[in-house]
Chains A and B, each alone.
Chain A
Amino acid sequence: MLTWPAMAMLFVFAVFPLFIMLASSFQSDDGTAGIVLSNYARFFSKNTYLKLTGRTIVNSLLVTVISLIISYPLAYIMAKKLKGMKNVIMVLIIIPFFTNQLVRVYSWLIFLQDGGILESLLNSVGLVHGSLGILYTKTAVIIGLVHAFFPYMVITIYMALERMDNSLVEASSCLGASAFTTFRKIIFPISMPGVISGIMLVFVPCLGTFVEPRILGGVNGTVIGTVIEDQFFEIYGWNFGAAIAFILLAMVLISMAAISKWGKRYEE
């Protein structure tokens, strides 16, 4: 009985609205009565929207891969090389999580802007001449998104590596395996559950972002999230927006299911 208030809250303000959203997605924006499929038909028949879906997935994949590449060595260093500093590094990795999303995006905006600090810096060492031209490109979006999400990956991989039994590594090198072979055959497979949870925590939320792409990408940052935002704030095609949101939700749920199924293979 004590669980009811929380559950009532979640059912009324989280679950039920999703059903309303589903219902809205089958209504037309031009006033046609009854249940229509036109919103979905419009999405799947237009090249622009399909391309956008593709771009959203590619963006999220890129962010995930880059996050993995920079996080793995860091997690490894924390777990095996600089053990004495691991707590300090962990705290420093976690703190930016708790800075406001908009503050973080804004900080990249002024850092990357033409005439900004990075430009002055690169100009003064002669790496770049004139304006930087990074802001309002896809690169800026990726930089901002990796910045927002890679700490998750560091934490999950670190936790997997931390649990690892060091005697396995010693045994492997005793038996004459090279460092690379040991990594490939022992360390990496053992850390796979951490890598997979990290992928889940980076790829999935990346699909639904709209703030970073909008602010750092400008017109080049259009993704599904920004298209949905436009439907609600600029174009007033709420029902069409609901349909796109539902497609996004389906993408989120499908990728979550696929990633967790992949993760199951590595469970002991």
Chain B
Amino acid sequence: MKKALSKIYVLIILLYLYVPIIVLMLMGFNESRYNSMPFKLSFQWYQALAKDETLITAARNSLILAFITGIICVTLATLFILGQRFLSGRVKSVFDSVSMMPMSIPWLIMGLSLLLLIRALNLDKSMFFVGAGHVVISLPYSLLVLKARMASMDQSLEEMSASLGATPFTTFRRVTLPAIAPAMVAGGFLSFMISFDNFPISYFLTPSGISTLPIEIQSSIKFGFTPEINAVSTVIIGISLLCLAVTGLIMGSSLKSMMGKGDK
């Protein structure tokens, strides 16, 4: 394969990946109500979005939910990887597979099984269960990031600190915590993003009258939409990219130190 041919191939794939998303973003600035040509610059859809109470409330709900999910996931994941070292044999293998399980089960199934749990307990749908569902599906991602960091950490530092007479808490605060802090932030952002983007869990569990951004988009698609959805989508993409950039910057440096000279 010649170099030019390779470049053309890469370009075609990237076009397939990006063109619809770019079109969506551009059409948010187009006057046409039906996302069609010709293109006439207009900010009316963003103006409409700024006044749309439903979408703004949904955005706020999504952000709060994602924030809480992120915090809880990081806390649980950090405790888990700190405690994991003391596990052994069967318990360890069971815990390991349970902690990764939500990654392999379709979210559709996770969502409806929680819905059936709510019914079995004779409760009403509530944001508590939406949050619990989000935590459960995002937790494996925080865990993965933290586990990777923990695996690359030099364990002898902790042993040294302990043998020099530091209490376990001091060792944690002075040695372990600074080493895993970047992974905690990255894991938190990752969980935030998973929750912020999640549709299936929210769709099954959100009580009527409350909604999140993905739910609003879905119902607009179902019941008639205007390019206001393009505007809100563009905002969502912006938020996701911001999270990704932060995670990437933090993890990038620790990934590089993890791989050593291997990369370059």
Contact = CB atoms under 8 A, between A and B. Distances in A.
Interface of A: 1-7, 9-18, 20-21, 23-24, 70, 73-74, 77, 81-82, 85, 89, 91-93, 95-96, 98-111, 113, 115-117, 120, 147, 151, 204-205, 207-211, 215, 225, 228-229, 232, 238, 241-242, 245, 248-249, 252, 256
A248 B21 CA distance: 31
B243 interface: yes
B104 A147 contact: no
A22 to B, nearest CB: 9
A2 B106 contact: no
Given A6-B139, A91-B248, A147-B16, 12 more contacts: A1-B83, A9-B139, A13-B133, A13-B135, A13-B136, A18-B105, A89-B14, A98-B197, A100-B196, A103-B236, A116-B35, A248-B109
B117 A10 contact: no
A14 B217 contact: no
A260 B35 CA distance: 44
Contact of B101 (A5, A15, A111): A15
B237 A99 contact: yes
B135 A103 contact: no
5 contacts: A12-B132, A92-B18, A93-B17, A116-B35, A238-B119
Contacts of A81: 1, 3, 6
Contacts of A229: 108
A232 B112 contact: yes
B42 interface: no
Contacts of B1: 77, 81
A82 B21 contact: no
Contact of A82 (B10, B101, B135, B193): B10
Nearest to A113: B35
A232 B101 contact: no
B63 interface: no
Given A11-B98, A20-B120, A249 B105 contact: yes
A13 B95 contact: no
Nearest to A143: B16
Contact of B233 (A3, A12, A103, A208): A103
A174 B3 CA distance: 22
B114 A101 contact: no
Contacts of A207: 106
Given A6-B99, A103-B24, A228-B112, A17 B117 contact: yes
B101 A14 contact: yes
Interface residues of B, number: 78
Interface in B1-32: 1, 3, 6-7, 9-10, 13-14, 16-21, 23-24, 27
Contacts of B36: 115-117, 120
A98 B102 contact: no
A107 B139 contact: no
A232 B105 CA distance: 18
Contacts of B160: none
A240 to B, nearest CB: 12
B6 A77 contact: yes
Interface string B110-126: 10111111011000000
A93 B16 CA distance: 11
Nearest to A229: B108
Nearest to B115: A232
B17 A225 contact: no
B46 interface: no
Contacts of A10: 98-99, 101-102, 136, 139
Of all A-B residue pairs in the complex, the 7 with the closest CB atoms, nearest first, are A208-B106, A2-B83, A17-B113, A3-B83, A107-B20, A107-B24, A6-B76
A23 B119 CA distance: 12
Contacts of A2: 79-80, 82-84
B197 to A, nearest CB: 4
B240 A98 contact: yes
A109 B36 CA distance: 12
A252 B233 CA distance: 31
Contacts of B243: 98
Contact of A3 (B17, B87, B197, B225): B87
A145 to B, nearest CB: 13
Contact of B112 (A82, A109, A245): A245
B9 A211 contact: no
B37 A117 contact: yes
Contacts of B240: 98-100
B113 A102 contact: no
B117 A16 contact: yes
A82 B10 CA distance: 10
A151 B13 CA distance: 10
A20 B113 CA distance: 7
